[in-house]
Amino acid sequence: MTYTLVLLRHGESEWNAKNLFTGWVDVALSEKGVGEAKRGGELLKESGILPDVVHTSLLRRAMNTANYALDAADRLWIPVKRDWRLNERHYGALQGKDKAATLEQYGEEQFKLWRRSYDTPPPAIEVGSEFSQDADPRYAGAPVVLTECLKDVLERALPYVKDEVFGDLKSGKTVLVAAHGNSLRAIVKYLDEISDEDIAGVNIPTGIPLVYELDEDFKPVTKGGRYLDPEAAAASIQAVANQGKK
CA distance 63 to 197: 31
Candidates 39, 102, 119, 105; CA nearest to 72 is: 39
**Paired residues of 7 in beta bridges:** 177, 210
Closest by alpha carbon to 148, among 105, 107, 103, 118? 118
Which stretches of the chain bind ligand 2PG, using CB under 6 A? Answer: 16, 21-23, 88, 91, 115, 181-182, 240, 243
- Write down the least CB distance from residue 74 to ligand 2PG, Å: 29
Cβ-count burial of 158 within 10 angstroms (0-12 exposed, 13-18 middle, 19+ buried)?
Answer: middle
Q: Does 16 appear as a known binding residue?
A: yes
Of 36, 55, 88, 180, the catalytic one is 88
Whether 10 is catalytic is yes
- Which CB atom, from 57 or from 67, has the smaller least distance to ligand 2PG? 57
Dihedrals φ, ψ of 59, to 5°?
-105, 135
Q: C-beta of 1: minimal distance to ligand 2PG in Å?
A: 35
CB of 23: closest distance to ligand 2PG in angstroms?
5
Nearer to ligand 2PG by C-beta: 57 or 174?
57
Kindly write down the DSSP assignment for every residue of 83-110, as one continuous string. -GGGSPPP-GGGTT-BHHHHHHHH-HHH
Q: Which is nearer to ligand 2PG, 51 or 92 (CB)?
A: 92
**Residues of each annotated binding site for substrate:** 9-16, 22-23, 61, 88-91, 99, 115-116, 181-182
Question: Would you name the residues annotated as active-site residues?
Answer: 10, 88
Residues making up the annotated binding site are 9-16, 22-23, 61, 88-91, 99, 115-116, 181-182
